[in-house]
């Protein structure tokens, strides 16, 4: 990979100019991050036809979701939790690894009997995806929908819970793929009797939950629960075993837990961040990239028998917010709250903080060229509309006087609870 990027990426050619001809130790490579690479996007990509202008034209147009970029690549975006939105390009080699890893993970989570039960229900699958800045979910769902037709239902994570429940009850999925926080809320609905579905597998993604929640979700639905840890920069990093640990796919990603000075952190100690090197993507190389998540590697062999490194991720815990109303409690997943702000032009970074059971504070970083008053007005209007749809119109919204607070590892949590 180092030889390839030296030859094909002007940016990496510059970074690696003084390194030895052959590099076998990743610690010899300089550390990169999203801000650094995005600022020099056109020099970063190994295919010289890939430009930031062309990529932004695709991700900025909802009608082009699922379209092959330049006829051969897949585009993904991040929502900006490190302070800068990222646009990522994946080649066919990367997508082949993604597909293989997903099949391996699902095969590890399911027994032969489970697979037969799913087949008997024609593999009916419901995917609950984010919109707004989460272009990756939309791309994957659009392509799957074209292949699966009526056997696939794609639902927005931003739907009111009553509508989400009604549509799932009507569809009756054999497999359900929600964000982890949405799965926890759906388990509440199933326990209350409003949701009545019987999936064989819940394949969770994107966020972490307290370990006890995975067991509760499995019990409530009478289903297997699998979870994966990945990012747009590397979509096949790890999957959860029956012991609740995430095993890193070290065949395809170099995974380095490090401290704040990018020095290795020993197993059993929480890292400040993690550096990843994606060994599949040759069009837009990700090498020694600071992902910003805090992880801990298990110091002893995992009882499940998988010899790959086992980790727990601190930086991706889902904050499910609970609000009290006259008719009871309302719980919202972070993704539901973030979408109205993500859609506002001129917002470069945001944070929604619950400061009291009936109060939310909006913290914005606004582009210098944007109309600050108009940005605040649009953000508040969008969030107020969503809250009203959820029966939370009585909540107080406040403008935060401080910018979004940065967490451990450098990431900004878009939504924080009390």
Cβ–Cβ < 8 Å for 343, 375: no
| Integer Cα distance of 335 and 383 in angstroms | 12
Superfamily designation of domain 2-94+233-313: ANL, N-terminal domain (3.40.50.12780)
Q: How confident is the model at residue 300 (pLDDT cuts 50, 70, 90)?
A: very high
Quote the Cα angle for 368-410-205, to 5°. Answer: 105
Q: How confident is the model at residue 142 (pLDDT cuts 50, 70, 90)?
A: low
Q: How confident is the model at residue 265 (pLDDT cuts 50, 70, 90)?
A: very high
Q: State pLDDT tens for residues 159-209.
A: 788 899 999 999 999 999 988 888 988 999 999 999 999 999 999 875 667
Q: How confident is the model at residue 210 (pLDDT cuts 50, 70, 90)?
A: confident
Cβ–Cβ < 8 Å for 362, 350: yes
**Length, in residues, of the chain:** 418
Cβ–Cβ < 8 Å for 418, 355: yes
Q: State pLDDT tens for residues 337-371.
A: 777 887 787 887 888 888 888 888 888 888 888 88
Q: How confident is the model at residue 299 (pLDDT cuts 50, 70, 90)?
A: very high
Q: Where are the domains of the chain?
A: 2-94+233-313, 110-229, 321-416
- Of 154, 206, 163, 200, give the one whose Cα is nearest residue 184: 206
Residue 372 has pLDDT above 70, yes or no: yes
Q: Do domains 2-94+233-313 and 321-416 have the same CATH topology?
A: no
Q: Looking at the domain covering 321-416, what would its CATH class be? A: alpha beta
Chain centre distance of CA 8: 29
pLDDT of residue 298: 94
Query: Which architecture does CATH list for 110-229?
Result: 3-Layer(aba) Sandwich (3.40)
Kindly report the pTM of this predicted structure. 0.76
| Interacting residues of 383 by C-beta distance below 8 A, sequence separation 6+ | 337, 340, 341, 352, 360, 362, 397
Residue 405 has pLDDT above 70, yes or no: no
């Amino acid at each position: 990979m180092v030889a390839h990027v030296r030859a094909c990426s002007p940016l990496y050619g510059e970074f690696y100019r003084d390194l030895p001809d052959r590099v076998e130790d990743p610690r010899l490579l300089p550390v990169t991050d999203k801000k650094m690479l995005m600022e020099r996007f056109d020099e970063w990509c190994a295919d010289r036809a890939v430009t930031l202008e062309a990529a932004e034209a695709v991700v900025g147009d909802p009608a082009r979701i699922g379209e092959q970029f330049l006829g051969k690549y897949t585009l993904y975006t991040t929502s900006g939790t490190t302070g800068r939105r990222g646009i990522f390009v994946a080649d066919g080699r990367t997508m082949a690894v993604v597909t293989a890893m997903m099949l391996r993970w699902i095969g590890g989570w399911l027994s032969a009997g489970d697979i037969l039960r799913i087949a008997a229900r024609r593999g009916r699958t419901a995917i609950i995806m984010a919109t707004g800045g989460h272009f990756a979910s939309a791309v994957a769902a659009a392509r799957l929908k074209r292949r699966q037709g009526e056997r696939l239902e794609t639902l927005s994570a931003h739907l009111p819970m009553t509508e989400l429940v009604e549509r799932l009850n009507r569809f009756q999925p054999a497999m359900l793929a929600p964000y982890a926080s949405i799965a926890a809320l759906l388990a509440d609905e199933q326990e209350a009797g409003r949701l009545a579905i019987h999936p064989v597998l819940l394949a969770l993604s994107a966020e972490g939950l307290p370990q006890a929640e995975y067991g509760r979700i499995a019990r409530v639905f009478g289903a297997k629960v699998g979870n994966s840890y990945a990012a747009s920069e590397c979509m096949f990093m790890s999957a959860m075993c029956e012991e609740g640990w995430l095993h890193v796919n070290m065949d395809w990603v170099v995974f380095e837990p490090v401290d704040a000075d990018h020095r290795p952190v020993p197993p059993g100690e929480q890292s400040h961040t993690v550096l990843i090197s994606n060994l599949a993507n040759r069009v837009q190389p990700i090498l020694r990239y600071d992902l910003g998540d805090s992880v801990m590697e298990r110091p002893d062999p995992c009882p499940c028998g998988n010899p790959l490194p086992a980790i727990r991720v601190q930086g991706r815990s889902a904050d499910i917010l609970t609000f009290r109303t006259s008719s009871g409690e309302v719980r919202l997943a972070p993704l539901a709250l973030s979408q109205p702000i993500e859609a506002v032009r001129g917002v470069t970074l945001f944070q929604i903080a619950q400061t009291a059971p009936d109060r939310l504070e909006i913290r914005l970083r606004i582009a210098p060229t944007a109309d600050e008053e108009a940005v605040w007005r649009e953000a508040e209007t969008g969030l107020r509309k969503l809250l009203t749809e959820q029966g939370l119109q009585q909540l107080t919204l406040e403008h935060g006087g401080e910018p979004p607070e940065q967490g451990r590892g450098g990431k900004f949590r878009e939504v924080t609870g009390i």
